[in-house]
Amino acid sequence: MTNRRKGQLGLILVAIIWGSGFVMSSVALNYFSTIHILALRFSIAFISMLVIFHRQLKHINKSTMIRGGILGVILYLAFYFQTIGLVHTTASKNAFLTAFNVVLVPIFGALFLKKKLTPLNIIGSLSAIIGVGVMSLNEFGAINIGDVLTLICALFFALQIIYTSLYVSDENPYALNTVQMGVATLCGMIISLIQDQPIEIGHANGIIAVVYLGVVSTMLAFLLQTTAQRYTTETETVIIMSMEAVFGMVFSAMLLNEEISIRMLIGAALILAGVLIVQLKPRRKQQESV
């Protein structure tokens, strides 16, 4: 199996993990505030990285600290704006607008990384974002402050993917991800203190959900993403990871007994089409394009 295929499989696993994270987030929100969930999930992810991969810490140097710090701030801001955006808009619009990074990543790759923006990349990205829209939107309505905040969130998620691709070829992925999680944890703690909201540890179900979000949906998922991006392009990364909406639908049906509609199946098909379309490029051209 080629490294590119391994990277693609790693990103599919990330999408599966994040799809399951929808269920765990729903459980966690019954016991914790959204700000506390962010602080806890990054803290748990950071501690897990330190415990499991402590031997990799020797690879942390000044460059890793700077680059991991940038990624950590960007990552926390992405989640933070998504969270506060959700307060002022609907969940369906929040999900759709967050997925707008599928469109932003190819554009940013062309602007900042001087990567070629190919027609198939554009078609694949549009197919994926339309698919997310079909799955999540019942109606859109007027633009409000929550929509704007969620678009800012999509901007930061796109930047996180772009900067990860920029940094990962020169850095140890374990060391880079450890610093990223550490800085995101620091941001989460600062925001919690500013808002003067002490964290209360409550029901076992809430604790289990937050631990899952921290260890699996954050530590493992972002480590897989960081490693996989060594072998995949930015556009491949964001389109494959847009499949989290598909897996979220599946896990919600299996574990929360939510119904799957024809509209959701059509949206899932469009997302999968986007993933397949971006694979159609000749391998030689794939390496020089986004």
pLDDT tens across 74-113, in order?
999 999 998 888 878 877 677 778 888 888 998 888 888 8
CA–CA distance, 182 with 172 (Å, rounded to integer): 16
Residues forming beta bridges with residue 116, ordered by sequence position: 289
Alpha-carbon span 176 to 182, nearest angstrom: 10
Residue 30 DSSP one-character state: T
Provide the 8-state DSSP code for 218.
I
Dihedral class, residue 257 (left if φ above 0, else alpha if ψ from -120 to 50, else beta): left
CA 17 to chain centre: 10
Q: What's the domain range around 176?
A: 3-286
- pLDDT over 80 (residue 199): no
User: What amino acid occupies position 115?
Assistant: K
* pLDDT tens, residue by residue, 38-77: 999 999 999 999 999 999 999 999 999 999 999 999 999 9
Could you tell me how many helices (H) and strands (E) the chain has, helices first?
Answer: 14, 0
Tokens encoding 138: 């019942």
**Of 30-34, 151-155, 173-177, 185-189, which range is least confident?**
30-34
The fraction of the chain above a pLDDT of 90, given in percent, is 48
Amino acid identity of 164? T
119 falls in which pLDDT band (50, 70, 90)? confident
Q: What digits encode the pLDDT tens for the residues 246-283?
A: 888 888 888 878 788 898 899 889 999 988 888 775 55
pLDDT for residue 116: 82
Q: Which two tokens stand for residue 44?
A: 């748990």
Total count of domains within the chain: 1
DSSP 231: T
